[in-house]
Chains A and B, each alone.
Chain A
Amino acid sequence: MVQFNQAQREITLKVVYYGPALSGKTTNLQLIHQFLDPQARGRLMSLDTADDRTLFFDLLPVFFKSKSGFKVKIKLYTVPGQIMHTSTRRIVLSGADGVVFIADSQRAEAKANNDAWRSMMENLRQNGITPDSIPIAIQFNKRDLPNVRTDAEIEEIRAKSKEPVFAAVAIRGEGVLETLFALLKLSYRNLNAKYDFEGKFGISEGEFLRSVFKRMSPAVAAQLQGKLGSTREGVPTDSGSNPPAPAVGDGTALDDRTTQDIRAKTGSSGGSSS
């Protein structure tokens, strides 16, 4: 459930990456973390085990301040894929505003995909969420592996599915932002219809998406622009007005900025006693 904090002028959304074990949920978040401007996202937190399997979840917070002065936080979570973590999946899924289902394209994983999908539906219902009432995007990951479903098959699924379907090679970053972009767009529209985001909070769909995807490295932006050229807003890049942020490297921009800010202040401040 989207949370509104009027006093703090803050809106928090929850997006959950769901899917069978080892389908690439964490990889998706890692790549999003890499692609997004460090100013628009926090650290990627992984609660994992010694063998790198997700134990509880990964969490990547994405945030921006709207022109109308609202702080919007989008928390991206993954669930643990292994069967034994059912209760954790349910806890993480509770209150989701949108779900990305990461399916494994390998033929051998078809059953695991189906099982995970059914468990997701069941967990949504048990959390009091009607599956029809929240946006879901489907990503067929690992398109680069042998023995995967063919493009024609994915196309067929796409034609039948009421959810948008994306092909991806998450490990190379292909399809990752497209999926997130589509899901956030659906989530915005869903929430706008329910809570009148535009009217009440003065946040338009364009601003919402632009703020999340702003200041990506130009290469990524161009890549995304090409792929999503057909969407109404296109992909806002802002790369003209802002210096390109480094695509990788945690927090460097923030640190530089602090130094710059202090330098700027100390350089210019005459004697502002308070």
Chain B
Amino acid sequence: MTAESHAPPPGSAETGGVLARRVTLADLLEGDSFKEVMSAFADLYRVGVKVFDASGHKLVDIRVGNSQFCGYLWEFGPTRQACTRLVTGLKNDPFETQDGVEVPRVVDCFTGLRYVVLPLLYEGDLIGRLIFGPYMPQSLPGLPDRLYQIEPKLDRRRADALVEQVRRAPDDLVAKLLTNVQKIVDVLVFTSYRSMLTSQMHIEAVTASFHELEDKNRTLKEQNERLQELDKLKSNFLATVSHELRTPLTSVIGYSEMLIEGMAGTLNDEQREYVKTIMDKGETLLSMISQILDLSRIESGNLRMDLSDFNVKDVLKHATTSVIPQCQKKSITLDIDIDGGLPFYRGDKDKIGQIVVNLLGNSVKFTPQGGKICLRGKLWTGPRRNKKAKTADDGAGMLFDLADETFVRIDVQDSGVGIPQEKIDKVFDRFYQVDNTSTREYGGTGLGLSIVKSFVEAHKGEIFAESEVGKGSTFTVLLPVS
């Protein structure tokens, strides 16, 4: 991971993001709910309330009691002008500060009515102002004379009557209740700022984790692609090498055969025995190389199926002939139980033959002297063992796999060493031998069963093994009859 990939994402503190963002009142307070709270407050005290945010945007404007009085003054030019000046000042005039902190302003109107302008502060920042008023100060006996100097046309009796509707309040009470308002607004702002930060941090943390995972996924994907490429290279290499190995080996075997047949003169018994050993070992080697070649073909996707209709019984019988000599050598009894009713099967005859040869060869290899091997073939109807054996495309259709299918079923049962339960599925892996020491004892490349599995799957069939250590194993091949 590079430093670049984790440079602060947009919206982080460094780019002026959530932690550094300046809060505005309008961001934090839900407009209608805040209006309701302020409205309840204004009703309770019968005094108007206005709230502006720091940029002068009006959030709340509630008039109580003074509408008619102010409306009356608004009818006359000079009082209208004075009123406009006053209201502009309330909204815009800067606060005085004490020790760098804004303090409330008390503003008396030209009518003698009074306003208090309260700074709304958060973390020492001025985020807005609350204008409380107008109210009639308790100490004010009545409307002052200077009001009538501003506008002599005002009707004193009417003005006196209208101003009666304006709440008369002692300053002490006003100071107390504004302290409460300040507390309420403070809590509201704090709470919503906290929620805002929480949700923003949620988003940022999730985004950061997402980017991290994305980075990791990309790395994994790249590594995986590289591995696949290497795997392919390896398969190609195996294919080339095994092909190149086979060519000279064929000559070794061919010439040995010619020697045995006496084409280059008669051999004495000892010579014949030696040459025969050369030929036998050559053939073993050839078979191993063929397996590697098969496997590399399977892996490189070059497995060609040569389909035909054939008699399964014949193929099974023919396969046994390849292991009979070895069975005789180890005094292994080979039972063959093939159902006469087996149908003709459409598939790759050679590959099915090789499946059975490999399974039988495997059994012979792992069955001790005097053991028993049984080959059974029959038509069988039942469910698949492994639902995943079908292609991934089947997806949700897996549910329907519960239905039975009809298969040609081939079982190869032996009384060999057996396979531990936890390793039973691994025997079909390439190069796998249950116990690595067994490679020395029993020989082989560890490819046989892997090839068998590939061939079975090429026929859309299934192979599985059951085993008990020390008692023997049974390998079962199911080839679907379509």
Asked if A pairs with B, the answer is yes
Partner pick for B201 among A43, A47, A73, A271, CB 8 A cutoff = A47
Contact indicator per residue, chain B 1-32, by CB within 8 Å of chain A (1) or not (0): 10100111000111010011000000000000
Partner pick for A259 among B86, B97, B176, CB 8 A cutoff = B176
Secondary structure at chain A's binding surface: helix, strand, loop or mixed? mixed
Interface flag for A95 (CB, 8 Å): yes
Question: From B101, which residue of chain A is reached at the shortest CB distance?
Answer: A39
**Cα–Cα distance between A95 and B193 once the two chains are bound (Å):** 21
Which residues of B (181-197) have their CB < 8 Å from a CB of A? 182-183, 186, 190, 193-194, 197
**Cα–Cα distance between A63 and B193 once the two chains are bound (Å):** 18
Given contacts A45-B190, A94-B13, A128-B3, contact A265 B123 (CB under 8 A): no
Interface residues of A (CB under 8 A from B): 1, 3, 12, 14, 39, 42-43, 45, 47, 55-57, 59, 61, 63-65, 71, 73, 75, 77, 85, 87-88, 90-92, 94-95, 125-128, 251, 255, 258-259, 261-263, 265-267, 269, 271-274
**Cα–Cα distance between A61 and B116 once the two chains are bound (Å):** 28
Interface size of B by Cβ–Cβ distance < 8 Å? 60
**Cα–Cα distance between A172 and B445 once the two chains are bound (Å):** 72
Q: Closest approach, in angstroms, between the C-beta of B367 and any C-beta of chain A?
A: 54
Beta-carbon contact of A258 and B124 below 8 Å: no
Question: From B172, which residue of chain A is reached at the shortest CB distance?
Answer: A263
Beta-carbon contact of B190 and A266 below 8 Å: no
Interface flag for B77 (CB, 8 Å): no
Question: From B107, which residue of chain A is reached at the shortest CB distance?
Answer: A274
**Cα–Cα distance between A60 and B277 once the two chains are bound (Å):** 89
Beta-carbon contact of A87 and B209 below 8 Å: yes
B259 to chain A: which residues have CB within 8 Å?
none
Beta-carbon contact of A263 and B171 below 8 Å: yes
**Cα–Cα distance between A77 and B18 once the two chains are bound (Å):** 14
Beta-carbon contact of A262 and B174 below 8 Å: yes
B3 to chain A: which residues have CB within 8 Å?
125-126, 128
Given contacts A259-B179, A262-B116, contact A65 B108 (CB under 8 A): no
Contact indicator per residue, chain B 100-116, by CB within 8 Å of chain A (1) or not (0): 11011111111010101
Beta-carbon contact of A45 and B197 below 8 Å: yes
Which of A14, A56, A85, A272 is the most central at the interface, judged by chain B CB atoms within 10 Å of its CB? A56
A64 to chain B: which residues have CB within 8 Å?
100
Beta-carbon contact of B14 and A95 below 8 Å: yes
**Cα–Cα distance between A71 and B99 once the two chains are bound (Å):** 11
Given contacts A127-B8, A251-B186, contact A87 B107 (CB under 8 A): no
B204 to chain A: which residues have CB within 8 Å?
87, 91
Interface flag for B89 (CB, 8 Å): yes
Beta-carbon contact of A255 and B106 below 8 Å: no
Beta-carbon contact of B186 and A47 below 8 Å: no
Beta-carbon contact of A273 and B194 below 8 Å: no
Question: From A215, which residue of chain B is reached at the shortest CB distance?
Answer: B99
Beta-carbon contact of B123 and A258 below 8 Å: no
Beta-carbon contact of B193 and A265 below 8 Å: no
B153 to chain A: which residues have CB within 8 Å?
none
Interface flag for B267 (CB, 8 Å): no
Partner pick for A47 among B124, B194, B208, CB 8 A cutoff = B194
Given contacts A43-B190, A94-B12, contact A274 B104 (CB under 8 A): no
Interface flag for B212 (CB, 8 Å): yes
Interface flag for B469 (CB, 8 Å): no
Given contacts A87-B205, A91-B208, contact A42 B124 (CB under 8 A): yes
Beta-carbon contact of A258 and B178 below 8 Å: yes
Given contact pairs A43-B190, A91-B208, a sample of 13 additional A-B residue pairs in the complex whose CB atoms are under 8 Å apart: A14-B19, A39-B99, A39-B101, A64-B100, A94-B13, A95-B12, A128-B3, A262-B104, A262-B106, A262-B179, A266-B171, A269-B106, A271-B108
Beta-carbon contact of B93 and A274 below 8 Å: yes
Interface flag for B230 (CB, 8 Å): no
**Cα–Cα distance between A12 and B123 once the two chains are bound (Å):** 12
Q: Closest approach, in angstroms, between the C-beta of A138 and any C-beta of chain B?
A: 23
Interface flag for B303 (CB, 8 Å): no
